[in-house]
Structure 1
Amino acid sequence: MADFVDREAIRHCLARLARGEDRRDAGLIRAAWWPDATFDYGVYSGDFAAYLDWVVPGAEAISNTQHVLGQSYIELAGDSAKAETHVISYHRVDMGAGDRDTCIGGRYLDTMARRDGEWRIADRVMLYDWYQDWGAAIDWAEGVMGYPFTAGHFPGRARGDFSATFFAAGQ
């Protein structure tokens, strides 16, 4: 039972980080990493402070992201663990000639540490399996598939994040 609880706590940590990255929310991101953590994304690496500065506020050219986490393979070893988590990350990027929609498929290799009963990332390496440029991005003013939006909160983080209001309503 304890292994199940630990694995679920690790998955929750990873989901909290993805949510924080997509919203550029420093508080959520800090809650997923130990302050002395390190990372290597192949295109950028360093300590947690460098990671946080890289992700928040994020590149001006990247207006929207969505990280979809897949299965996590987790090996527990006392107060440490290794986890491989599949990720598909969408990015809306201004590459100089207008916004383009791009997508990356890869895996996070995380070394997790439990301190005072809490699991967080101690080290992360990003592996890239594929990348695709999906082409010119849609103009949210047009709605989706020819149908206009009926309210301003539907296009997600592109115009604010309605989910923040959704979760706050339950408090």
Structure 2
Amino acid sequence: MDPIVQQLADREAIRQCVARLARGEDRRSADLIRACWWPEAAFDYGVYAGDFEAYLAWVVPGAEAIKDTQHLLGQTYIELGGDAAKAETHVISYHRVDMGAENGGERDTCIGGRYLDTFEKRDGEWRIADRIMLYDWEEDWGWAADWSKGVMGYPFTAEHFPGRAKGDFSERWFAGAKA
């Protein structure tokens, strides 16, 4: 393959891996997450670090108090070096946290930061070999919206609209379900 085309293909494969991982984290899908990391990979999120199995056990099923998450990915800067690469991806992650009835219920928080990923390409496949999370900011958005009331005063017309709060319709949608 032409070297420029190969570089483009490698960069896209790395971006797809990062996006697939964020999707897996938001759905707490062990299968999607496992497909993005090499089995002997390591991570350090500053508040928790370890090997891949520790990471997977931390994310799936996830903390019971964290009801929903959404990871929005920004630009990914990639430096390729043969079958290895370093990538920095900007991320904004939303978390709905159940503080408990005695503490007022659910709150929405948001974190901005960057993933520093070391990738390795094996048998033509790019996966994460190491990840470090850097934190740039955090914001407590306050008490969470009550999904039973819809959005902006308008009630939902079907059960699947509030995202992962009642199961993830996108999984069924990709499989061919109609709204």
Q: TM-score, normalised by structure 1?
A: 0.98
Structure 1: which 5+ residue stretches go unaligned? none
Q: Are positions 1:167 and 2:146 aligned together?
A: no
SS in 2 for 1:64: strand
**RMSD of aligned Cα (Å):** 0.8
Alignment of 1:86-125 (within 5 A): 86-96=90-100, 97=103, 98-125=105-132
Matched residue count: 170
**Hey, what's the Cα distance between the residues in 1 that align with 2:106 and 2:55?**
24
Amino acid corresponding to residue 134 of structure 2 in structure 1: L
Alignment of 1:74-85 (within 5 A): 74-85=78-89
CA deviation vs aligned residue, 1:97-116 (integer Å, no higher than 9, x gap): 21000000000000000011
Aligned to 2:149: 142
Deviation of 1:52 (Å): 0.1
**Hey, what's the Cα distance between the residues in 1 that align with 2:108 and 2:166?**
17
Aligned to 1:29: 33
**Hey, what's the Cα distance between the residues in 1 that align with 2:81 and 2:91?**
24
Misfit runs of 4+, over 4 Å: none
Amino acid corresponding to residue 109 of structure 1 in structure 2: L
Deviation of 1:142 (Å): 0.5
Q: TM-score, normalised by structure 2?
A: 0.94
**Hey, what's the Cα distance between the residues in 2 that align with 1:168 and 1:123?**
32
Deviation of 1:95 (Å): 2.3
